[in-house]
Chain A
Amino acid sequence: MSEPTATPLLELRGIAKSYGGVQALADVSFAIQPAAVHALVGENGAGKSTLVKIVTGVVHPDDGELLIDGEPTRVGDPQAAHRFGIVAMYQEPTVFPDLTVAENVFAGRHPRTGVRTVDWGAMRTEASRILNELGVDFGADTPVRGLGVADRQLLEIAKALSSSARLLIMDEPTAALSPNEVENLFATVRRLRERGVAIVFISHRLEEVSVIADTVTILRDGRHVATRPAAELAHGEIVRLMVGRSLDALFPKEEAEIGDVVFRAEGLSRGGVFSNIAFELRRGEIVGLAGFVGSGRTEVARSIFGIDPLDRGRLWIDGRPFGPRSPRAALRRGLAYLPEDRLHQGLVQPMSVAQNVSMAVLPQLTPGGLLRPRRERALARRFMEQLRIKATSPAQIVRSLSGGNQQKVVLSKWLAAEPKILILDEPTHGVDVGTKADVHRTISHLAAQGLTILLISSELLEVLGMSDRILVMREGRLVAEIGRGEATEERVIAAAAGVAEAAA
């Protein structure tokens, strides 16, 4: 069927892309054949999502070219990608909650009758057909408001199926699906393949990759490592290729004296998000919280910090019960949380460095409620020095700083609050190497001084390098606890992906 001489549907040649000095992709070349399932694997940060963005025209490569049907082509924007038949399905669905499933599937391109009115009958029939094909248990007339994340993901798939895609990119489509639904999805994927559609399948679950993929491409650190037929690749081999390096010296973990338990959680649950989470943190300890995106790590942290309500569970700080009612209450008890979304949750972009750094400690800095700009500036200067923030002055507007320096500002904000326990959610996501080292140095130093840190990170090396202990989450549950001594990348990945440990 797919002869080696056939023209690939899509070919990448020497694709490179960097974001503000961080090389996201370098010289990536491989081809995607029609009528085949092409798995794309790699750690977080390996460059998969950047690659998807380039193919779908969301970002443009700095170098290299894309060939569609053998022709060099510029994919200017997502609409252009659509015209070439390239359709991407995103992890986080974008839906219309007020409309029915059928209308969501056909939003913006309703089937029409002869007199150019909406053909509800055809729309429902077609939507039902697609939903049946997917084997989902909700009907075409269901209002989307009532659907959970998993269902919305299925809806995204249905949307993609309803358009005449030649290349369908599925980014972690199975993350929130039950085994049953995964089965149905795979059946659909196979049917699509028979129709000649090429599917790029991105997944962290390696067993799924072996089940569904014809070809596997492995990326690591923005570079293309291998593209091989799936049949030739065992799990262990894939993991080895994904990881492929030893712990480097980037993570200078200082030895810290680990003290008493300062934080305890028992039976934390939140409906449909995570359940029965229990763990302890000790003074001076850095505990890594690993797991893939969507495993519930961030959600646990948000609930502990009082942003989302807990359905069940109890917490103690320093042995005293703690009810996380609001971030304010959490801060008062010495708990701080650096959120993963720097832009929306961390920074106030149009404000100055000093105003951002002082944000969480303003009550202490403003006796009588009056602002003391000098104190704020002094505070900011202290952290600019300590964290090597490159800003012209504390008065510089945060928006004009680089990503790395912005992240340091957010970190400063929380350090200024002098917490006892600090939850860091992806503290080095999207920052350059230098900043990363600065952040790691600071974290490590603070732990040595007795700060307790819960480090959430998708970057395995970071978790392995920094943590005294690693907790692993999968599908809303805590599935493993690994001590520093026994922690290897293979073990953590295996636990997070839910596969039997790969033979190393």
Chain B
Amino acid sequence: MKAAQAIAVRLLARWETLLVVAIVGAGIWSTTLSPFFLQRANLLDLLTPYIFIGLMAFGLAFVVIAGEIDISIVSNMAASVVCFAQLYAAGVNVWLAALIGLGVATVLGLVNGALVSLLELPSLAITLGTLAAYSGLAYVILSGEGVASFPAGYSKIGGGYIGKELPIALLVVIALALVLGLVLHATRFGRYVFTIGSNREAARFSGIPVARVRMTVFAVSGLMAGFAGVVYVGYFGSARADAGTGSLLDVVTAVVLGGVDIFGGAGSMLGVFLALILVAELRNGMQLANIQGDTQDIVIGGLLLAAIIAGNLLRAVQGGRIRVGPLRLARREVVEHEATEAIIASKLAPENLKGR
């Protein structure tokens, strides 16, 4: 009995549970907007336009859990999409071209990884640079015009159905979520990702191949951008250099809202998947309520901020110590225990909190 109760309490306190509640809530709201919302076909199709966002979020989750960030991921997708499209337009078999697109995306991810991990550069600045560079690359490769008219067999990947109602894209996203969830939560590599994100120093001292894992994490992020591109082309039926522009917000929101600690070391694939559903549901609902895309961004942006602030509050309540994440580009000078303690004490000093 007691054990069951404890499990129930723990389940309730989980971030994922909150997400499920929010999903149900948003569902009720959507139903009030449109009676068609609850139809099976609509529910099954809910995620379809957001699959590429989800795939990128899965990849980004690895990077963030490892304590880094990759904001170039959307540009990376655009670059791989146009490579794929150009190859296809040049007469390469569509599947082979898609495969090469995946390769390109992985290489672009590896470039980020090499700069961050081997040269010990800040991922924020580097991927901000490659965000622009990869996007520019996409435009250069496929200036202006897009490539359309992909073969129908291929487009099924993004927009096709099995039977009448089951979107193939949904199966793709679930399959990849399962695979990546397995990699993250059930393999040695995944454990290393969490360890490095929690305490890179301790990971290094424990003989974990830190540089290799960090590089791989960016490669994973690149590969997932590639998969996102494959699905994107399938869904939209065209490839353009501005593919996915503006979806960085959704990707980051899905990751952070999914409970991935923005300072690294914590997160779950299930959470990201649920957050993806929530984002899709909200966007869909706002569409029903006739709210414009850019205005929707206000809500999504607010959600992103709320998720981080909620996470911060949660950590403060749990009494975790104050952490300075890599996102702040921390470059710690050597500080002995004494000084550290004194600093923590002075941080907590009331006059410092409200300023001098």
Contacts and interface: CB of A to CB of B under 8 A. Distances in A.
Interface stretch (B226-234, B268-276, B343-351): B343-351
A205 to B, nearest CB: 19
A90 B188 contact: no
Given A53-B341, A371-B187, A359 B201 contact: no
Interface in B310-356: 320, 333-339, 341-343, 345-346, 348-349, 351-352
Contact of B206 (A53, A399, A413): A413
Contact of B342 (A58, A363, A369): A58
A463 interface: no
Interface string B265-307: 1100000000000000000000000000000000000000000
Contacts of B209: 328
A417 B207 CA distance: 10
B208 A359 contact: yes
Given A78-B349, A79-B349, A348-B198, A360 B334 contact: no
Contact of B266 (A49, A90, A95, A350): A350
A345 B191 contact: no
B132 to A, nearest CB: 26
A275 to B, nearest CB: 20
Interface in A445-471: none
A413 B266 CA distance: 21
B336 A91 contact: yes
Interface of B is mostly: helix
B48 interface: no
Given A91-B338, A363-B188, A348 B205 contact: no
A92 B335 contact: yes
A347 B199 contact: yes
A363 B265 CA distance: 20
A49 B341 CA distance: 11
B102 to A, nearest CB: 22
Contacts of B308: none
Nearest to A329: B207
A92 B343 CA distance: 12
A348 B195 contact: yes
Contact of B195 (A77, A171, A351): A351
Nearest to A340: B337
B334 A92 contact: yes
Interface of A: 49, 52-53, 56-59, 76-79, 88, 90-92, 94-95, 97, 171, 305, 307, 326-328, 330-331, 337, 339, 341, 344-351, 355, 359-360, 362-363, 366, 369-371, 399, 413, 417
Contact of A370 (B187, B199, B203): B187
23 contacts: A52-B338, A53-B338, A57-B345, A59-B345, A77-B349, A79-B346, A90-B338, A91-B338, A94-B339, A97-B333, A305-B205, A326-B207, A327-B204, A331-B207, A345-B202, A347-B202, A349-B199, A350-B265, A359-B202, A359-B203, A362-B208, A369-B187, A371-B187
Minimum-distance CB pairs A-B, first 5: A92-B336, A77-B349, A331-B207, A328-B207, A366-B188
Contact of A53 (B198, B208, B342): B342
Interface in B1-60: none
A351 B198 contact: yes
B199 A90 contact: no
A339 B205 CA distance: 8
B333 A344 contact: no
Nearest to B199: A348
Interface centre among B187, B188, B190, B349 (most CB of A within 10 A): B188
Nearest to A413: B206
Nearest to B350: A77
B334 A362 contact: no
Contacts of A345: 201-202, 205
Contacts of A360: 206-207
B34 to A, nearest CB: 43
B222 to A, nearest CB: 21
A79 B209 CA distance: 43
Contacts of A355: 191, 195
A423 to B, nearest CB: 11
B271 to A, nearest CB: 16
Contacts, number: 118
Nearest to A328: B207
Contact of B335 (A94, A331, A363, A366): A94
Nearest to A327: B207
A92 B199 contact: no
Interface in B163-219: 186-192, 194-195, 198-199, 201-209
Nearest to B187: A369
Given A92-B334, A359-B195, 17 more contacts: A49-B338, A53-B342, A58-B341, A59-B341, A91-B336, A91-B339, A307-B204, A327-B206, A344-B199, A345-B201, A348-B195, A349-B198, A350-B198, A351-B195, A351-B198, A355-B195, A359-B202
Nearest to A88: B342
B349 A337 contact: no
A328 B190 CA distance: 18
Contacts of A346: 202, 205
A58 B345 contact: yes
A77 B207 CA distance: 39
Interface centre among A171, A351, A355 (most CB of B within 10 A): A351
B211 to A, nearest CB: 9
Contacts of A92: 334-336, 338-339
Contact of A371 (B191, B201, B339, B349): B191
A344 B345 contact: no
B209 to A, nearest CB: 6
A78 B342 contact: yes
Contacts of A76: 349
Contacts of A413: 206
Contacts of B187: 366, 369-371
B188 A369 contact: yes
Contacts of B348: 77
